[in-house]
Amino acid sequence: MCESNALLVKAQVIEQVSLGDGSFVEMLLDAPRIAEQVKPGQFVHVALPESSQHILRRPLSVLGANRITGLIRLLYQVVGEGTRLLSEVKEEEELSLLGPLGRGWDATKARKCLLIGGGVGAAPLYMLAQSLKDRGISVDVVLGATSADVLVCRESFQQLLKPSRLHLCTDDGSLGYKGFTTELCTQLLQKRKFDYIASCGPEPMQNAVAELAERAGVSCELSLERRMACGIGACLSCMVDTVDGNKRACVDGPVFNAKEVRW
């Protein structure tokens, strides 16, 4: 069983910034106890504003956390009515947060890292890139999206990495390489030696990344997305099919070793 460091806190919304084509939102919250605890790849379970007819929390990726200011940054995509309501929450309003939750990335042995983010999947990779860089470890990041205006995390990564280490691609060629992240990865894996791959994005991309890693003989972790109810491992809603049977994305993941996952 995972050791839980989860807390239930009220967090004030500092600001919400709409990104890209407007369907992505970066939310800044005052949550010092979570900022202090959260590790790269973990998430928080956010309740929608009270009096709403939405009874389930939304698991959101932590894009960044600052232990000194006590602020955390979350990134989410407005996909339905719940996330739309969340995007309408005003500054200074409070939200109920449960977190940090889940098992994050385990890059302790990694020395040459390749991080791959598809769409909003880039979010949980940012803190990992930051911590690897802080430890002086080599990091290449591939980010992909359908087009330039929805390649939402790229500014954060651009501030963190040298241009030669950040590899962008879009399906329509409006920015960077025209094509999929997996094509860029194949090229990078031929050019350079990596000993660790971390990936988050749409399931078909994750599956393809797992295969690439397997073929290249590189250790690989995937952050998987599932619908969740409790977020703490009790309700068995967020199952991931693995070689060892069902595992819970909320506490056994969301980060899984690619070799474990059955597709």
Partner 1 sequence: MSVNLAVNLGGLPMKNPLTVASGTFGSGREYAELWGAIPLSVMGAVTTKGVTLEPRAGNNGIRITETASGMLNSIGLQNPGVEQFCAEDLSWLATQDVPVIVNVSGNQIGEYVGVIERLERETVVSAYEINISCPNVDCGGMSFGTDVVATAEVTAACRAATQRPLLVKLTPNVTDIAEIAKAAESAGADAISLINTVAGMAIDASSRTKVFERGVAGLSGPAIKPVALYAVHRVAEAVKVPLLGMGGIQSANDVVEFLLAGATAVAVGSANFSDPFRVPHLIQELEHWCKSEGVIDIQQLTGALT
DSSP 45: E
Residue 89 CB, nearest distance to partner 1 (Å)? Answer: 16
Element (H, E) at 59: strand 58-66
The separation between the first and the last C-alpha atoms of the chain, rounded to the nearest angstrom, is 24
Query: Is the CB of 80 or the CB of 173 nearer to partner 1?
Result: 80
Choice between 4 and 69, CB closer to partner 1: 4
Least CB distance to partner 1 at residue 85 (A): 12
Write down the least CB distance from residue 68 to partner 1, Å: 26
Query: For residue 183, what are its two tokens?
Result: 């094509």
Count other Cβ atoms within 10 Å, centred on residue 257. 15
- Cβ proximity to partner 1: between 17 and 236 the closer is 236
Say if residues 121 and 143 touch (Cβ distance below 8 Å): no
Residue 7 C-beta: closest distance to partner 1, Å: 8
CB closer to partner 1 out of 136 and 245: 245
When the beta carbons of 77 and 182 are compared against partner 1, the nearer one is 77
**Least CB distance from residue 262 to partner 1, whole Å?**
12
Distance CA 34, CA 196 (A): 27
CB of 241 to partner 1, least distance (A): 8
Which of residues 166 and 228 has its CB atom nearest to partner 1 in the complex?
228
**Do residues 102 and 42 touch, judged by C-beta distance below 8 A?**
yes
Binding residues for partner 1, rule: CB under 8 A, are 1, 4, 6, 8, 47, 53-57, 82, 96, 98, 227-239, 245-246, 251
Q: In whole angstroms, how close is the CB of 107 to partner 1 at the nearest point?
A: 26
Beta bridge mates, 98: 8, 45
Cα dihedral 250, 224, 112, 109 in deg (nearest 10): 30
Which C-beta is closer to partner 1: that of 17 or that of 235?
Answer: 235
- The HSE-up count of residue 36 (CA atoms within 13 Å, CB side) is 7
Q: Which residue has the tokens 């690619």?
A: 258
H or E segment to which residue 64 belongs: strand 58-66
> Tokens 């990041």 label which residue?
141
